[in-house]
Chain A
Amino acid sequence: MRLLERVDAWLFAAEDARRLAAMRIGLCLLLALRLATTDYAHVAQQQASLFRPAPLSYMRLFTHMPSHEVAIALQAVAIVATLLAAAGLVFRLALSLAIACSLLLNGILDSTGRVIVGDALLTLCLLVLLASGSAAVEAWSLRRNVPAARGPRYGWAVRTAMAVIALAYFLAAWQKWRHSGLAWVTSDNLRWILYAASDGSRHPNSLALFIADRPLLAHAFAAGSLLLETVFPLVLFVPRLRWVLVPGAIAMHIGIRLAMGLDYSAQFLAVAIVFVNWPVVVAWLQRALTDAPLPREASSG
């Protein structure tokens, strides 16, 4: 009972309204970027026989892929709606529309026989943001601004998003422990993953081969990744560990991108947006700019 009370007290602690607003702006701009740079149309036009939604997917409501034109239209509507939500305009309607379109577009990608995890965490955080309602547009918004507001009204969504992220990393570790155990580290598993990724790309990947060719290095990276994911939830209770584990997670995803070409940018950017205390960063920048010496006037000669 006491544990539940402590969890409740942590989850519903007060936060600055600007922190929730930063989460709104950051996550919405990230979604807009993902929507603008992902090619959904090439999958939308593929053969009906290759439309294979996952067993529990909402895409099972459809009998075939949406057409190329529908995919493009969804993409355009979602980008506009996401930018409106980022600006704090018609927030709930715009973000609901953006998330609905995004779910359909990601559903298209996920209905080709394999589920792509990359945008899942961003989508989960956006759902939490949507649930925060009008609180998310009370600061740093084109609509209205409540000066210096603070309270659980702004904190619960930020902290729920943090808990979702921490849980996601822990679950990724838990699945590795469950399916592979310590052999995930001690076997040649990571070497085969890296060799397969390099062989599957047009040009050999020198970083992947450098690690895969050195078994001890591969074991070290595997151990580091598994340790990072396993202990990631500590960021919720030991704020100082955020300075280590959040950059560590970001570095891991950048390493995966460089070595294997897998794009987890939506995930690690969502982690940065949610965990960084942006009002503090902005205040620090403002102070730094104010204290900076003024540039000398140009000499008139």
Chain B
Amino acid sequence: MSTHAAAPRYARPFAAAFLGAVAVCGFGSFNAWPFSNWELFSRLRTDAQTSWQAAAVGARPDAPVPHGYRELTSVMRGFAKLTPAEQNAICVRWTREAGARAVLVYRFDWLLSVRQGQRAAPPHRSLAWTCTAKGAHAAP
């Protein structure tokens, strides 16, 4: 059996750079997929949970509304920290895409530790934002 098949000249720099990139993204928390930061489930969870739902008012029956997407929660998580101009831009787009007079965004809060049988107890619902063609309005 031949054992003289040497690695190509580029192999060493490639392996060093590739493993270096994996390590730098991981240790530096840079998420440059597929060079992941591997942070999944690394932060402590608490029993306090929040989710979001949107409802279009006066929408076309066939129009897409944001509440149909699980990604709404990830948008709303940082929504309050956006500038008013960014909030308005998102709200105007949602209202237009839904063909609605308004899109109502509700916040749901509940505790995982409060159980009713196999499920958590029902969440507390509150209106958080009202989106219209003019922009975003925080609920009082």
Contacts and interface: CB of A to CB of B under 8 A. Distances in A.
Q: Do A and B bind each other?
A: yes
B43 to A, nearest CB: 5
Given A172-B38, A199-B120, A149 B2 contact: yes
Interface stretch (A8-16, A81-89, A291-299): A8-16
Interface residues of B, number: 54
Given A47-B97, A50-B71, A175 B38 contact: yes
Interface string B96-140: 010000000000000010010011100000000000000000000
B70 to A, nearest CB: 8
B137 to A, nearest CB: 18
B82 to A, nearest CB: 12
B22 A151 contact: no
A41 interface: no
30 contacts: A12-B12, A46-B71, A48-B97, A49-B94, A50-B71, A50-B75, A52-B74, A56-B30, A106-B33, A124-B22, A124-B35, A127-B34, A135-B8, A149-B1, A150-B1, A151-B4, A152-B7, A153-B5, A160-B15, A164-B18, A167-B23, A171-B22, A171-B37, A172-B38, A179-B44, A192-B45, A192-B112, A196-B45, A199-B112, A209-B118
Candidate in A50, A54, A198 with the most chain B CB atoms within 10 angstroms: A50
Contacts of A221: none
A96 interface: no
A261 interface: no
B7 A117 contact: no
A38 interface: no
B8 A133 contact: yes
A253 to B, nearest CB: 12
Contacts of A168: 22, 26, 36, 38
A193 interface: yes
B33 A110 contact: yes
Interface in A38-76: 46-50, 52, 54-57
Contacts of B3: 14, 150-151
Given A47-B64, A164-B19, A113 B97 contact: no
A286 interface: no
A166 to B, nearest CB: 10
Interface residues of A, number: 71
A124 B41 CA distance: 21
Contacts, number: 179
Contact of A46 (B42, B46, B69): B69
B93 interface: yes
A183 interface: yes
A28 to B, nearest CB: 16
Contact of A148 (B2, B11, B19, B34): B2
Given A50-B75, A164-B19, A189-B45, A148 B38 contact: no
Given A155-B7, A175-B29, 8 more contacts: A11-B15, A47-B66, A149-B1, A171-B27, A187-B44, A189-B44, A193-B41, A199-B119
Name A's interface SS: helix
B44 A120 contact: no
A47 B115 CA distance: 36
Nearest to B69: A50
A145 interface: no
Given A49-B97, A164-B18, A195-B120, A117 B38 contact: yes
Nearest to A57: B33
Nearest to A50: B71
B1 to A, nearest CB: 4
B46 A192 contact: yes
Contacts of B74: 52, 112-114
A163 interface: yes
Contact of A152 (B6, B46, B66): B6
A228 B22 CA distance: 19
A167 B93 CA distance: 42
Contacts of A152: 5-7, 11
B103 to A, nearest CB: 11
A175 B6 contact: no
